[in-house]
Chain A
Amino acid sequence: MPFVNIIRKRLIFLVLVVFGVSLITFAISHIIPGDPARLVAGDRASDEIVTSIRQQMGLDRPLPEQYWRYLTGILRGDLGASLRTNRPVIEDLVAFFPASLELALVALLIATLMGAPLGVLSAVYRDRPIDHVVRTLAVIGISTPAFWLGLILIVTFYGALGVLPGGGRIDPNLAIPSRVTGFYLVDSLLAGDLPAFGSTLRHLVLPAFTLGFIHLGVVARQIRSAMLDELQQDYVRTARANGIAKWRVICGHALPNALIPSITVLGLALGDLLYGAVLTETVFAWPGMGAYVVNSIQSLDFPAVMGFSVVVSFAYVLVNLAVDLIYMAIDPRITGVN
């Protein structure tokens, strides 16, 4: 049973990843010169208070014991308390994660909707001017500093033209749709709140485009290369020889087949989008995990950084697993990649 095998393998790997990632981030957080107890206590707290907070936080214990505590905490879903906000890290992440995921998914959608047609065009008109244009565009996409593109879009579409909002997730004058999934797009529809839906959509356009544009190249390249493979297949030639219209063959036969190997790339892109959101969120004041982790790093709030890393690596492995499974479901020839 390949399914079961894959799942078992991935789950073992998952444990390994959580262990490894927590060890790495734990190690980093203990190289830093900063004293977390002092951070919690504030600048003007007396030494006795700092000492007592250090004891409360268990920072006076030997390192292996501290790590063991942290690890067992993870298993209970406890990622420690943020030094900056004084709240449990897991609560903060749960609050911020849907925003990041929503942005990443919409960005992926944009990247796919724009990247796939470009990839097809590029493959069909291989080595023609349009191919060069698409490939150049793809290269420009991956070469663009996201933070810079974001700034330019804000200045243009919010500052100069005033047609789109310049940051945030939703118009602050609107009530935030009551939380079901944490995705405002979904929650507002569930609540039948069209203004909220529209506002969310408008707020998503610029950050999602920024993030999507960077990955457009990745998608276009992948589709192009998969299409080139498909177009050389015998069935395509046969179909064309039998007089079936060119685009019918391309869109009806070659493209669906080319999409299968692309799923892996799209899945991996989703993982990248989640990390990549770090800078985009900062620029667009997007209240997601990326902005949260940047703030945490700047205030040396290592429990938060560790929690973020563990959660994101966890999500990454799960996405990989999902990709593998989908892949196998679509294409029975494959009994497990990687």
Chain B
Amino acid sequence: MDPTEIEFIAEGEHISIIPSFSIESVIHLISGDFGPFRAGFPQIVPLWLAVYLKQRRSCQIIQPDWMNVELLEEKKEEEKNSRYFTKMPSKHYMEISNILLDVSCDDIQFSNEIRTIIKDIWDIRISKLRTSVDAFIKMGGRHAQLTHLTQLEINSIRPLLPDAFNALQKLNKRDVVDHEDSALITDTFSMSARNEPSTSQTFQQDSVDITASLSGSQQSGLG
């Protein structure tokens, strides 16, 4: 998926704003009812709406609770010290902070610090992710749990991991097919050997080993 598509999804998250206009009636949007808006009173809206209003200077965006320096510093330490991925304060932390720092920098306190910490957290997590992906592929695993990874983080390894994985699987599979094929041939031969009249049995039995080893070597040669 394109990162902008994930941003599109993140824009559906809710956020508080303080409008500078008043609309007494509730606005019936397709994605839900919002309002009534009273100037100066906080109201919850989807992020895209907050951005829209902010760009028209009709509201002030309230900094989300998790977007404060101390909490994020703590998170960063936790992330650094943990072997696993820790739970992020928001499942779209990167996208939301990016959008907010972009459009409403003046509403965010300590915006520069927050930008740096978020980037640090992102870097720590991505490098951790790359290390785990490396270990995962070397281990030849088929399944891994990735709880607490956010969508954007998963998306960042998507172009790489599945392809590497598929290539590995293909190689592994070819190996197995080789083994199974030779085993199958041995089986059918010994079966037919048992069904054959006793006169030719010894002859058949002899040929089995040869064919099996032959087919084995042929297959590996082909592979």
Query: Is B one of A's binding partners?
Result: no
